[in-house]
């Protein structure tokens, strides 16, 4: 390994879904919020207790951080706060993918694009057909707007 390069962490390879872009607990909290809608810390704490032991104050702290990051919106109600997701799950994930792909594919060559297609095919061959359909739709949109 070259000097200055970091050794890959095998634990991060196993991460999937939202946990690739946020912490495990943040992802679990966001999933609870998306599932339940407008929630209190107590609601999310109860949701998480169905999966694992966790302190109420930990949930409160992480939800405050998610609000500070703009992922949750909060409003005071009496002495507590109600929270809701700043975006629907699908919109949030689409935005993450858009931002990531824009950066990665900005100057992509054939090898990078081929690896992208290989990774799509690796997960689900039907996704390759869906990708081809999306590409064709985009081609039609471009030709009709020119």
Q: Each residue of 109-128: pLDDT tens digit? A: 888 888 888 888 887 888 88
Mean pLDDT for the chain overall: 86
CATH code, domain carrying 73: 1.10.10.10
Domain boundary among 85, 101, 120: 85
Q: Is the pTM of this model over 0.85?
A: no
* 46's tokens: 């109860």
Residue 97 lies in domain: 89-145
Model confidence over 66-105: pLDDT tens digits? 999 999 999 999 999 999 999 999 999 899 888 888 887 7
Alpha-carbon gap, residue 61 to 45, rounded angstroms:
11
- Do 35 and 47 contact (CB within 8 A), yes or no? yes
Alpha-carbon gap, residue 139 to 132, rounded angstroms:
11
Domain count, the chain: 2
SS3 127: helix
Instruction: Report if residue 4 sits inside a domain.
Output: no
Which residue bears the tokens 């050794």?
A: 7
């Amino acid at each position: 390994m070259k000097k200055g390069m970091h050794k890959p962490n095998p634990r991060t390879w196993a991460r999937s879904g939202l946990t690739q872009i946020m912490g495990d607990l943040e992802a679990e909290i966001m999933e609870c919020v998306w599932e339940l809608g407008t929630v209190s810390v107590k609601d999310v704490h109860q949701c998480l207790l169905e999966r694992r032991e966790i302190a109420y104050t930990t949930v409160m702290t992480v939800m405050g951080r998610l609000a500070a990051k703009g992922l949750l919106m909060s409003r005071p109600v009496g002495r507590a706060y109600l929270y809701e997701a700043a975006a629907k799950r699908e919109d949030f994930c689409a935005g993450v993918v858009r931002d990531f792909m824009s950066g990665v594919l900005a100057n992509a060559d054939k090898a990078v694009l081929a690896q992208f297609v290989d990774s799509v095919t690796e997960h689900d061959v039907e996704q390759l057909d869906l990708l081809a359909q999306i590409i064709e739709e985009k081609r039609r949109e471009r030709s009709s707007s020119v």
